[in-house]
Homo-oligomer: A and B are copies of this chain.
Amino acid sequence: MYAVIMAGGEGTRFWPKSRSKRPKQLLNIVDSDTMIQATVRRLKGLVDWDHILVVTTEHQRDALLEQLPLLSPENLIVEPKGKNTAPCIGLAATLLHKKDPDDVMLVLPADHRIEDDQVFQKTLRAAAQLAKNENGLVTIGINPTYPATGYGYIQHQQLVANIDGIEAYNVKTFAEKPDIQTAKRFLQSGDFFWNSGIFIWKISKILQEIEDSLPELSTGLNRISKALGSEKEKDVIQKVYCQIKSISIDYGVMEHSRNVFVVKGDFGWNDVGSWEEVYKISPKDKHGNAVAGDAVLLDSKNSYIETNNLMIAGIGLEDMIVIQTPDALLICPRERAQEVRDLVDLMKRKKLDQFL
């Protein structure tokens, strides 16, 4: 079994801790390990080190090799430019196809949090078995616990398998991030899972599906395949990436395929998409405050404070996020944590490059 870890994200929502050269997956947001380190560690016993590929962009390359000293440089795939998940997965599949087209590949985001590694591995094993037996596209669905508007959803149909206690279903539809009313409806129906962004399939199968649904990408990948190992390899990848369009695997492939399964993942999952998510999974004091570092709070509650070298003193803070790094500090209401991305855009426009 192979694993492809997608580690190209920019993670601007974790500013000021995340920067363009130090995005979320390279940070220890919720753990002593960084998120990419935790993602790799989680595969121990399931996938061999030399079967793990990490796909990233040039400016994260060095930091990734530093954080993953056991990763051999040839297993680090550098995309010339982030083009969303379909090209990323296609490129990795093209490389792996030369090694073993009939083997299974796992596709994993680099920056999610999993609580129970054992159940996680058990689930992936069941998903891999299903992918092999059915030659299908398998995704992991998470039982929703609240009407999240920040996740995509997967509507399942009938149970098709129960592998060692892990349930697998046919997929009816994929749904984009819903509004709150729709999310509530999804939750009530009992038919929907959160889309975890974790996929399992045979290498040959995903390339076939890309050929069917994204012929342009497929043509590009074939050009890359022919150049692999030659001195033109880098050039060809560069050229192909200039031409292909940016598209997600969900939208570009999964929604069009007739052979899609969802395996229920019950391992405690969180995509840790914003500081608000970090607050939610952090231990809190009796006032609902989660504090990492030095802080003194007067009449404050339900806030998340993370300091570097300053003593942060707050009066009357309520539902606030305060994050300090050596050169910057963010103050933001928890309910506006998504707008940290807009703040980073604003700083880009103001040419505050040293803080990006």
Contact = CB atoms under 8 A, between A and B. Distances in A.
Given A298-B342, A298-B343, A336-B316, A328 B311 contact: yes
A288 interface: no
Contacts of A161: none
Interface stretch (A64-72, A118-126, A249-257, A344-352): A344-352
Contacts of A336: 315-316
A12 to B, nearest CB: 12
A267 interface: no
A216 interface: no
A332 B352 contact: no
A355 interface: yes
Given A342-B298, A352-B296, A352-B311, A331 B317 contact: yes
A340 interface: yes
Contact of A312 (B315, B329, B350): B329
Given A296-B350, A296-B352, A328 B312 contact: yes
A314 interface: yes
B296 A343 contact: yes
Contacts of A330: 313-315
Interface residues of A, number: 34
A248 B315 CA distance: 30
A332 B316 contact: yes
A197 interface: no
B329 A298 contact: no
Contacts of A315: 330-333, 336, 339-340, 342-343
22 contacts: A296-B343, A296-B346, A296-B347, A296-B350, A296-B352, A298-B346, A310-B324, A310-B328, A311-B327, A311-B352, A312-B328, A312-B331, A313-B330, A313-B347, A314-B330, A314-B332, A315-B330, A315-B336, A316-B333, A316-B339, A329-B329, A331-B331
Given A313-B330, A316-B332, 9 more contacts: A296-B343, A296-B350, A298-B346, A313-B329, A313-B347, A315-B331, A315-B343, A317-B331, A320-B331
